[in-house]
Structure 1
Amino acid sequence: MKNKITETAIPASSKIAEDLPGAYFYDCFETPFPHADLSAMQIYMDTFAKTPAWVNAMMGIRNRVVVLFGLKNVGGMKALNKSKPAEAYKVGDKAGIFSLVYKSDEEVILCDSDKHLDVKVSVSKQTRDGQPFIALSTVVHVHNNLGRAYMLFVGPAHKVIAPAVLAKA
């Protein structure tokens, strides 16, 4: 059975909502998720470890192109330490291509920053009308014209990539 993915507003109750003021780009996708016993960190790890091959291929192309413009090669979405349990991650640790900046049982926020932009990604467990779901939220703050130019390409692509990744939850 395929997960139903819906674009929605970033949940007001999520910690990442605090990063919305001044954001250049943001989005949020949600899907029903009945596994309330899993931590947000475990959901992040399980979901990103199953990133579709075509997304990883796009990341490879992205990495080869952006280094020509001074952006960094961030690696692939599946680049997780599979031997490290979710509960062992602490704020400041690398978790795949991102660094963990916030961790609770209900939400994790991961970040990648450079001189051009800051990207934050949140996986949060939510409930609406008694039904559990997870929300995958992204908030981007740009610092200069190169960051804005980068987002001209990445913004539209993200609207396809994020739901494809979330579908693996």
Structure 2
Amino acid sequence: MNGTVREVAPKVDANTLLSGAQFADAFRVEIGAAQVNAREACTRMVLHGPRWVDALLRLRNILVRPFGLKTSGEGAPAPGGLIGLFPVLSETPERLVAGFDDSHLDFRIVVDASGDAAGRQVTLTTLVRTHNRLGRTYLAFITPFHKLVARNMMARILEPAR
């Protein structure tokens, strides 16, 4: 089913990517013969999202600032630069890993582009390791929004590059 975003079982080595992760989910979209690498897929998801996602991120930044949590673009420079607010930690054409560590939780997003010329797919996996009660509370609160945003972001991969 080309273009349908589906929730799938995560198929990444969580111990290697974020040891001790307590949360993992994954979404996949079939992209047909489109030649999209992991960086381009991540860029389309993050930078070309709808305004309501941007508004949610701005609201999140305002709400977490009093708790001393990182907001968009804060932290040490990333080896692969930034895509939106996500520091790129490692990258190949087939896989991009982004995310950061914070006082309440650490997270990674993993964008995998795979398949052959006739049937390619992109999978977005999210991993989270919480550190304390604030992290667990934050994760519980954000999970329903995360799933909605992740699905919407995945649908953006099929749109032509802007």
TM-score by length of 1: 0.79
1:16 Cα offset (Å)? 5.6
1:56 Cα offset (Å)? 0.9
Identity, % of aligned positions: 30
Structure 2 residue 41 is the aligned partner of structure 1 residue 43: yes
- Residue 6 of structure 2: aligned partner: 6
**What amino acid maps onto 1:150 in structure 2?**
Y
Change (3 A) 1:63 1:35: farther
1:17 Cα offset (Å)? 7.0
**What amino acid maps onto 1:51 in structure 2?**
G
For residues 148 and 16 of structure 1, the distance between their equivalents in structure 2, rounded to whole angstroms, comes to: 18
Number of residue pairs matched by the alignment? 151
1:24 Cα offset (Å)? 1.9
- Residue 140 of structure 1: aligned partner: 128
Across the aligned residues of Structure 1 and Structure 2, the Cα RMSD in angstroms comes to 2.3
2:111/2:123 contact within 8 Å kept = yes
- Residue 65 of structure 2: aligned partner: 67
**What amino acid maps onto 1:118 in structure 2?**
D
* 3-state DSSP of counterpart to 1:156: helix
1:157 Cα offset (Å)? 1.4
**What amino acid maps onto 2:41 in structure 1?**
I
1:21 Cα offset (Å)? 5.3
1:10/1:17 contact within 8 Å kept = no
Which aligned pairs between 1:17-166 and structure 2 lie closer than 5 A? 18-19=16-17, 22-35=20-33, 37-74=35-72, 91-127=79-115, 131-166=119-154
For residues 33 and 82 of structure 2, the distance between their equivalents in structure 1, rounded to whole angstroms, comes to: 25
For residues 74 and 9 of structure 1, the distance between their equivalents in structure 2, rounded to whole angstroms, comes to: 28
TM-score by length of 2: 0.82
1:20 Cα offset (Å)? 6.2
For residues 15 and 154 of structure 2, the distance between their equivalents in structure 1, rounded to whole angstroms, comes to: 19
- The runs of 5 or more residues in structure 2 that have no matched partner are 158-162
2:101/2:107 contact within 8 Å kept = yes
Structure 1, 115-124 or 92-101: larger mean CA deviation? 92-101
- Residue 160 of structure 2: aligned partner: none
For residues 41 and 92 of structure 1, the distance between their equivalents in structure 2, rounded to whole angstroms, comes to: 10
